Amino acid sequence: MFSKETYIQRRNELKRLVGSGIIVLFGNNESPCNYPSNGYYPFRQDSTFLYFFGIQRDGLAGVIDIDADRETLVGDDIDIEDIVWYGSVDSVRDLAASVGVEHTAPMRLLQAVFDEARAKGRTVHYLNPYRYDNKLQLFDLTGIHPSRQKASASMALIKAVVKMRSTKTQEEIEELERAAAIGYKMHTTAMRLTKPGVTEKYIGGQVDGIAHSYGAQVSFATIFSQHGEIMHGNPSMAKLEDGRLALCDAGAETINNYCSDNTRTYPVNGRYSQRQLEIYSIVEACHDHALQVARPGVKYMDVHFAVCRLMFDRLKELGLAKGDTDEALRAGAHAMFLPHGLGHMMGMDVHDMEGLDQVNVGFDEETRPILDQFGTNALRMGRRLEEGFVVTDEPGIYFIPALIDDWKASGHCAEFLNFDKIETYKDFGGIRIEDDLLITADGCRFLGKDRIPYHPQDVEAFMANN
């Protein structure tokens, strides 16, 4: 939690940007697992509510009446039965005072806010809910069916939140650096434990434990798999095999809920084969090329395609691709190997603000998503970079057997792909290298004081010595 003044300043700026009306920001509720009292899923407050109110308690909402310049924290105090099981907590009034909010109200009075606004023809600004309990509450308050709530959400509020949360302040950058430090511990722990015979599940569990030990939790479900060609390959009970590659994509959340997101791919036996090195060196070069290209004023879509161009040229040298590179990119041939975008915004959410719809976060009136091309349609961030943005840099090369079969059968992009050669890589898996970029005044830098090893010689040396 930051200082009271931070939240006051944020709410004042939000009021200035939205202009008029009433803003209602819903916090989250508890999410039980397989029966009501089994709170297996750790409580995670809504990030936008946290950004403006900073309070880590379930069952709250924030009401900001812009015209009356009145702020209210809405929620019910915890009753004695809950105190018996979970201990005493601050009252709603004390919580409000801790972040500079003068007024409080019980949750039942939130209905009056909506009813009075409707009667007076005033606008109530809210964001599109992503949890079903909040969708149902909004349905009760407004009569708007959950299927129509996204369309009725306030675009003025969405744009204001995106504008504010996109540019990270110094205290946010310091928090992101703390997340990077936890991420370093997670990934180097995975590297130390990786060897033939150990299960993916065991290493994934150890990685998750690091995140929980040093921060709030993992920033997303940990990916650890010998099948790197599966984008979201969660750890299985499969044992690691000599000669295979292991891909670890994992991140942490700090106590204040700022995220890290890194990926490393390394040999189970500690030594890359020549064939693995050939592909790995291309991904390594692409990863480093983004660091040279990304800077304020440059579209991240252009950084993405600069990386794709380098990748395709290098794949042509190996005989996996052919033809004019620019024509190949226009046709989408690169998506055979890289079926996702170069990166995404990151902050309090690992895919920052994605709940507000990615088109509102990663794109703008100038830069629109390309939705009709496989692979490119998965680009989450395309707009011009600004100082203070944090984006991920995560190129990869994947050999996905089903995709190879599909494109080969249809002849898709056959003029740019050597399918006979690609066929021989069906057992390869996939490689991804990912770090988090802070856009600075004159370029960019990686977050994190300690670099998780990723150059091949550094990876091999680390695994040999640890």
HSE-up of residue 85 (Cα within 13 Å, Cβ side): 7
Domains and CATH numbers, the chain: 4-166 (3.40.350.10), 170-465 (3.90.230.10)
**What does the pLDDT read at residue 38?**
80
Q: How far apart are CA 217 and CA 210, in angstroms?
A: 9
Nearest to 90, CA basis, from 77, 102, 75: 77
Residue 25 is given by DSSP the state E
Pairing state of beta strands 444-446 and 435-439? antiparallel
In this structure, what token pair is assigned to residue 345? 């915004």
Three-state DSSP at 63 gives strand
Q: How far apart are CA 72 and CA 63, in angstroms?
A: 5
Q: How many CB atoms lie within 10 A of CB 140?
A: 11
**What does the pLDDT read at residue 88?**
80
**What does the pLDDT read at residue 309?**
98
Region label for 331, one of left (φ > 0), alpha (ψ between -120 and 50) or beta (otherwise):
alpha
In single-letter form, the type of residue at position 124 comes to V
Nearest to 293, CA basis, from 393, 198, 215: 393
Asked if 410 contacts 264 with a C-beta cutoff of 8 angstroms, the reply is no
Ordered mean pLDDT values, 10 residues apiece, the chain (466 residues): 96 98 96 81 94 96 97 94 81 97 97 96 97 96 96 97 98 98 98 98 98 96 97 96 98 97 98 98 98 98 98 98 98 98 97 95 95 94 98 98 98 98 98 98 96 98 96
Phi and psi at 171, nearest 5°, equal: -70, -30
pTM of structure: 0.94
Helix (H) or strand (E) segment spanning residue 297: none
Nearest to 19, CA basis, from 125, 104, 121, 111: 125
Q: How far apart are CA 268 and CA 187, in angstroms?
A: 14
Please report, in angstroms and rounded to a whole number, the separation of the first and last CA atoms in the chain: 36
Q: How far apart are CA 353 and CA 81, in angstroms?
A: 36
**What does the pLDDT read at residue 81?**
81
Torsion angle defined by CA atoms of residues 275, 431, 224 and 447, in that order, rounded to the nearest 10 degrees: 130
Q: Where are the alpha helices (DSSP H) in 121-221?
A: 132-142, 149-152, 155-166, 170-193, 200-214
**What does the pLDDT read at residue 37?**
77
In single-letter form, the type of residue at position 407 comes to W
